Amino acid sequence: MNLGSWFFSDKIALAAYNAQSVSQNQAPELYDMVERLCDRVRLPMPDIYITPTPSANAFATGRDAHHAAVAVTEGIMRILPEGELEGVIARELSHIKNRAPFTQAVVATIAGGISWLTQIASYAMWFGGGSRNENRSNPIVMLLTIMLAPVAASIVQMAISRTREFAADAGAGNLTGNPRAQAQALQRLDQNARQIPLNANPAFAPLLIMNGFSGRFMANLFSTHPSTPLWIEKLLELEQKLLA
């Protein structure tokens, strides 16, 4: 399922958000911005989509650079000035260049495999796998393993997703030379997400530049994105490195 989702990820994600394909004539400024950034980073031109929602968000999808798409919402185009929108587009292109969708598919496959193995272990514990004494030897340990292994796999999956976000920020900062504009964009997007959340299948949350988690430890632990304050802090640190 995960491999199939990766292969058809662009079509699945775009359909989930009701994204509409646009041509250069329909969105000339957006198209020219993406084309200019692709030339800088030496990427093929992705397909461009716009999602008809006032919620401000963006995402990139596709199994590789030659089958990629960048989607933005009407909301993000309305609230972000050109420099900040360029920073958002640059980081989505960095995801494509870093093959983030492929990494996400591999990690999801591993996490799914761990969950599947723990299910098999639970069946073995209750319905077979040795003598009764062996089955009864460590039932508490076995139950804890069955319950915690999928949770641990999910936490690792989300931690890798957050690491990819920082990598995309670094790539976008080097591409545009303006990490501060990215930080300012994140502040606007965070405020917009609290007021006008993008309601969609949570399975696609890792694709979005902004999701609903922020602030507290447990929320960050199970979030696919870093908290906005930490995110902005890392971008400003990157700005200092670029200015040094």
Q: Could you report the per-residue pLDDT of 53-79, keeping only the tens digit for each?
A: 999 999 988 878 888 899 999 999 999
Q: What is the pLDDT of residue 44?
A: 94
Decide if 148 is inside a domain.
no
Q: Does the pLDDT of residue 139 top 60, yes or no?
A: yes
Decide if 183 is inside a domain.
yes
Q: Which helix (H) or strand (E) holds 197?
A: none
Single pTM value for the model:
0.72
Decide if 193 is inside a domain.
yes
Q: Does the pLDDT of residue 89 top 90, yes or no?
A: yes
Decide if 127 is inside a domain.
no
Decide if 141 is inside a domain.
no
Decide if 73 is inside a domain.
yes
Residue 38, class by beta-carbon neighbours within 10 Å (0-12 exposed, 13-18 middle, 19+ buried)? buried
Decide if 114 is inside a domain.
no
Type of residue at 96? I
The dihedrals phi and psi of 68, each to the nearest 5 degrees, come to -110, 160
Q: What is the pLDDT of residue 126?
A: 63
Q: Does the pLDDT of residue 211 top 90, yes or no?
A: no
Higher-confidence residue of 131 and 28: namely 28
Residue 208 sits in a domain whose CATH number is: 3.30.2010.10
Percent share of the chain, pLDDT over 90: 32
The residues pairing with 48 across neighbouring beta strands, listed in sequence order, are 70
Pairing of strands 47-51, 68-73: parallel
Q: What is the pLDDT of residue 29?
A: 95
Q: What is the pLDDT of residue 218?
A: 41
Higher-confidence residue of 107 and 189: namely 189
Whether residue 102 contacts residue 81, with contact meaning beta carbons closer than 8 Å, is answered with: no
Q: What is the pLDDT of residue 202?
A: 60
- Taking residues 91-107, what's their average pLDDT? 74
Decide if 144 is inside a domain.
no
Q: What is the pLDDT of residue 210?
A: 80
Q: Which helix (H) or strand (E) holds 48?
A: strand 47-51
**Domain count for the chain:** 1
- Domain range spanning residue 80? 2-102+155-243
Which of 92, 233, 237, 239 is catalytic? The answer is 92
pLDDT band for position 170 (cuts 50, 70, 90): confident
233 is catalytic: no
User: CB atoms < 10 A from the CB of 142, how many?
Assistant: 18
